[in-house]
A and B are shown apart, each in its own frame.
Chain A
């Protein structure tokens, strides 16, 4: 579904991604690990079309379409989802209005009628259960005053609502206690299917105990320098990143 070929990207003139190659197929879970500053978050920003990042080379194909030519909203409509490392607070915009706009714009993109109010609320109720998101949170402004854990749960709730084909979880484990981590991971696992895929970006092996990857990649200095099975994550947990740095210096 996703083919990244020799992707180069920069922010404010500084090159961060220096030739990333990655292929993701339906049903797969990929983990991308790497030390701070290696370009992990940049990769997720570039894939979702953040305007601050400039693609300077390479291509990305998503279900046969040129992903980089699409607007951020059309990428979402095509089935790409990013769970933000730092979800944005939007005071004054209620979760209900926000989700209704998102769901109905996607439906319109695919030539479907908007959901009726009752169907929409039913869908909200159903998907809230996936991450045990309190009804009170759903009636508040988007992420406003949410705790760190609530924000991450809210990201997975939105993912459940939008049913993406490819989800990128950017440091979804950061700022979570063990209980919240379990709830979030269980939400992600419930949403997993043969048709969709997940890219998990993380520093730590911990999250991968709950969300089992099929492949683990190490991103270092803007390139994927090593790819292997889940055992690589365990090795990193044990040995740290120094040996990777030495190997690539």
Chain B
């Protein structure tokens, strides 16, 4: 069965409604997406780079899509309290996939724009032209997102400006029947523009399956710097396909960090094009998975310019029946001397039933480069566990300390002080089993 069929039919039958609630730019892209999906199929388990995850099966249930853009009569700020408090962020919400600027307590200074794509179509039409320039419709999951996307969020930092506060976007899913959210995020940093962004995914409903499809496109201009922390704390019935595309110009510095503390099934794709000299990239990831959590990461870093530096590190701690997967590729194009690119994927399977699939890859077409990849899968060190127990530390606590220690370097790499401290606290709670699941978030995380 081809899961795409039902969504293509939905599109074809309701095209007028879909288009009526979407800016022209998205409607133009939609036509290309429709073509791209002709005869296409979502990847099935076992296909290349999909060794552990079946996207076709993930989309198979008949998920509803809110094409009439019915809003929910709710103020997210009153039903949700964030896990990362005291950050003085500029907070925005999407409740299901409706953007809520209402959560904004403070306005950003310096011409920084955070608004829905619908608003942006009126206020900044020239910026919206960038939408779809990075995301490839050759990927059926991206094409499907493009086929159904009706709105999204624009973050824009003009040349020479810095966002004075961290931009925080909280995505809340709360449904009473199986629904799919379709999210687009467009981030544009001008020359020498600087910003940091924290995205938190939460699911409040615990009774029904929901699927979140997101495509994020990030443009970093010359000398720009940008941090993007994408933190998932959803629930076991949340399915997610995320594709983050980054384009970096010369001397830009971008950090992308994918954090999964709780989830159901997630496939996270990262595509980074390093397209100007002396650009720097940090691509980081941290996954803690237990129960039947399933986290699959695909990364592709494309070095197209000389003298750039990328550093990639993904770490997983899997326990119980959790499944993790990582496929990472670094590509160094011809005539890109002095590129330094490092990839690491380190994993702990803390139970006999946890599974990790990993595939590191380097593809290098220039001689004078420094590149490496390293992958390990291991267990917790028995001698260290025994040593701690002889000091009176219980086996559970000893395991928690070791797992926490394993994650220390990816937590330390976070460049937001308050988030780093908070992550230490959250991972500690996650490991000792006291991290409230999202349904209970309102009460437990304050």
Chain A interface (Cβ within 8 Å of chain B)?
48-51, 71-73, 75-77, 81-82, 84, 87-93, 97-98, 101-102, 105-106, 109, 141, 158, 162
Contacts and interface: CB of A to CB of B under 8 A. Distances in A.
A83 B223 CA distance: 55
Contacts of B409: 92
B392 A106 contact: yes
A76 B391 CA distance: 6
B389 A73 contact: yes
A50 B404 CA distance: 24
B408 A72 contact: no
Given A97-B401, A101-B401, A105-B397, A92 B387 contact: no
A88 to B, nearest CB: 4
B386 interface: yes
A220 to B, nearest CB: 26
Contacts, number: 75
A81 B391 CA distance: 7
Nearest to B408: A92
Contacts of A87: 387
A109 B391 CA distance: 13
Nearest to A51: B386
Nearest to B394: A73
Given A49-B389, A75-B390, A76-B392, 4 more contacts: A50-B386, A88-B381, A88-B387, A93-B405
B390 A81 contact: yes
Contacts of A88: 381, 383-384, 386-387
B414 interface: no
B402 to A, nearest CB: 7
Nearest to A84: B387
- Determine the interface band of chain B, counting residues with CB < 8 A from chain A: 20 to 34
A162 B384 CA distance: 18
A101 B401 CA distance: 9
Shortest 6 CB-CB distances between A and B: which pairs? A92-B405, A76-B392, A72-B389, A88-B387, A102-B391, A92-B408
5 contacts: A76-B391, A82-B390, A87-B387, A89-B384, A105-B393
Contacts of B7: none
A102 B392 CA distance: 5
Contacts of A106: 392
A72 B390 contact: yes
Given A90-B402, A93-B402, A93-B405, A76 B397 contact: no
Nearest to B412: A92
Contact of A90 (B388, B389, B394, B397): B388
Given A93-B402, A93-B405, A101-B397, A76 B386 contact: no
